[in-house]
Amino acid sequence: STIKAIKNKQVYKLPTMDIGGPRAPLISLYIALKAHPEAFKGVDINAIVKDYYKVVFDLNDAEVEPFLWH
């Protein structure tokens, strides 16, 4: 391919979620982490996702598990 991102294996599938809904901040963080990994070294996205779902949706660990990005 002549597309630089494909050549460099920098094409990512977005996690399934409603882009314009209450989870939009998580998508923004995901994109930022993928676009600038050096700026986000040490950021545990799953810890952030877990905390977000607990605070915003009042979910427990078991309920949050399917939404974590492994």
5-19 tens-digit pLDDT = 889 888 887 766 666
Inform me whether the pLDDT recorded for 69 exceeds 90: no
Whether 4 has a pLDDT exceeding 80, the answer reads: yes
For residue 67, what pLDDT band results from cuts at 50, 70 and 90? confident
Q: What is the pLDDT of residues 16-59, one digit of tens each?
A: 666 678 888 888 898 899 889 999 999 999 999 999 999 999 99
Q: 31 CB contacts (<8 Å, ≥6 apart)?
A: 14
